[in-house]
Chain A
């Protein structure tokens, strides 16, 4: 049977078990939208801006582990999505983006709404395609989904000219795909695993440094087994929060620029670092020459380019985190089954970590006048028992959410790590809520960031998505203000947001509910009420204007040189 390109696309999405498409129509994708009503099993969520659509697809992917799908038109539709594509790329999130393109005869003619999106997104996609012949389309879609989800996941873009959407051909969807030039390594080299097992047995002061790869490969359980069985303390990057339960005594908290004292000191004092699915980002390592000088570093990553990029790994392992941890478990389980041989960890090391945690915890003082932002996050954590899906925008509130929320499950913290994209959290929350209509999804936001994709309130209200936005409102672009205070002689240039919307009225204008709270005594009751409302809610929390995120490692300093206040 012959189908048009548009029909082939939608039929193929169904065969890839896609349930939701986040998108925004336009001239170059009308043919696809024209066919949408014929595919009732494919839910379309209409965003109000393409950036919202792509972040929502990204949030959906992070919350579920499935491939998120985004559909936008050519030219400005495609360029509006670029920030979201780069966001997904930096955090290795599987997303397939379909962009409309002007008809093939017009490509390169500066036609209306034409842009070379394949060229523009080449550096920020895992791969991209321009489909010039409808007969190539089924194979391209199959490859796009395969590429997005396998190996180190990432965004894949398909640029689809209008005439290709209209052209017809006989439809055959490939069952399997084999690409001679793409073969990611999943299983670890057994010799390397044996080496790792050996150093794990011998280490006196080991630490696990978990990264987003643990979440991406669904390896939390195996990681938790390893840590608990061998008494290895765990720290994690922003991307990996939730991979290990925050209420476990072995949990040290996040490490790096805004990491805990215990985590940063532990990394610096360890004799063995098991870096699992992390990439030694500069926000984590601080000054590289001072990073973990005394440690043997075992680095596990599915992407060979991550290994040896920033730090020299004593034992490099190219593998999927889960496959690696399972292989390590098999090797080590032999030890454990023999009770007398079960490894006993050098307890002074654990005792020192415990004392660091106790002496220099994450702290703030909540008085009776002004609300401390950290207090708000702690209340949210307590009210939700660590079981909500938390998304964030980018800035101080993001760090407070990362520090003070007690994450208990993987895929419950969704935040733009690598690119640091303001405006990410709310649309991502929409994506997560679409995936999990019954779960509590909360966007912890700043008053600056929330205004970057605020138009998506219409989307949330339109689809009845009960996303909660909690704005930690300090009237500043707080993180930049903090840098200005500490490193730029308090020159608060362009960071004060004096003119701001009334967020309560704004919520109401969109048909959502709005609350404002400025009394510390009422935070809990207002949040309780807001979380119970089955609709989109903004809670505008007026917080201490000049509260800073601490600890803080100044850029370029060693991670032990923390500003603690």
Chain B
């Protein structure tokens, strides 16, 4: 099962490799990984998505907590949460294709962030599913390149 882990860490050199090394050293796989500073100075938030059965994910979480530089680990899979990812796509949009691509941009609430004679760069945010659907739709026009951030996630305010 896919799990989204939200990890609060000390923002110091090497912290990313401590976390990433823990996964690789134990044979766990990271699907996506995102790190950025938080409101509190000196602390960073990592969002990691990973695959594994319950026992493996429990071990991963405990091992992450054991790292001296980790303050908090939350498995957002267990709680109601919002998950988003941002993606940039460079897509073929020559001649007659362009109008149709722009229609899809509209439907998916993407933004066109760069225009040239034969291609567009689109910016889109959403869940993994939404980004996947967009990629599927645009594939037939020719996607030349994509760049994705990996998921970021946050617990919802109203919990039962």
Chain A: residues with CB nearer than 8 A to chain B? 118-119, 122-123, 126-127, 130, 147, 179-182, 303-305, 308-309
Contacts and interface: CB of A to CB of B under 8 A. Distances in A.
A303 B66 CA distance: 8
11 contacts: A118-B14, A119-B14, A130-B14, A181-B9, A181-B10, A181-B71, A182-B68, A303-B66, A304-B62, A304-B66, A305-B66
B68 A181 contact: yes
Interface in B1-24: 9-10, 13-14, 17-18, 21
Interface string B47-87: 00000000100110011011011110000000000000000
B27 interface: no
Contacts of B55: 308
Contact of B68 (A119, A126, A130, A308): A126
B157 interface: no
Contacts of B71: 180-181
A130 B18 CA distance: 14
Given A130-B14, A147-B68, A181-B69, 6 more contacts: A123-B25, A181-B9, A181-B68, A305-B63, A308-B58, A309-B59
* CB-CB nearest 9 A-B residue pairs: A305-B62, A127-B68, A181-B71, A123-B25, A304-B62, A182-B68, A305-B66, A305-B63, A122-B21
A309 B63 CA distance: 11
Contacts of A305: 59, 62-63, 66
A435 to B, nearest CB: 28
B68 A122 contact: no
Nearest to A303: B66
B24 to A, nearest CB: 9
Contacts of A123: 21, 25
Interface centre among A123, A130, A181, A308 (most CB of B within 10 A): A181
Contact of A122 (B18, B63, B66): B18
Contacts of A130: 13-14
Contact of A179 (B63, B65, B68): B68
Interface string B26-46: 000000000000000000000
A69 B2 CA distance: 43
A304 B21 CA distance: 20
Given A126-B68, A180-B71, A119 B17 contact: yes
Contacts of B69: 127, 181
A122 B17 contact: yes
A122 B17 CA distance: 9
A130 B59 CA distance: 28
A139 B113 CA distance: 48
Contacts of A181: 9-10, 68-71
Contacts of A122: 14, 17-18, 21
Contacts of B63: 305
B30 to A, nearest CB: 16
Nearest to B55: A308
Nearest to B18: A122
Interface centre among A147, A305, A308 (most CB of B within 10 A): A305
A544 to B, nearest CB: 41
Interface centre among B9, B62, B68 (most CB of A within 10 A): B68
Nearest to A183: B71
Contacts of A126: 68
A504 to B, nearest CB: 44
Contacts of B18: 122
Nearest to B42: A180
Nearest to A122: B21
A309 B62 CA distance: 10
B151 to A, nearest CB: 24
Contacts of B58: 308
B99 to A, nearest CB: 52
Contacts of B66: 303-305
A44 B146 CA distance: 59
Contacts of B68: 126-127, 147, 179, 181-182
Contacts of A147: 68
Contacts of B62: 304-305
Contacts of B13: 130
Nearest to B13: A130
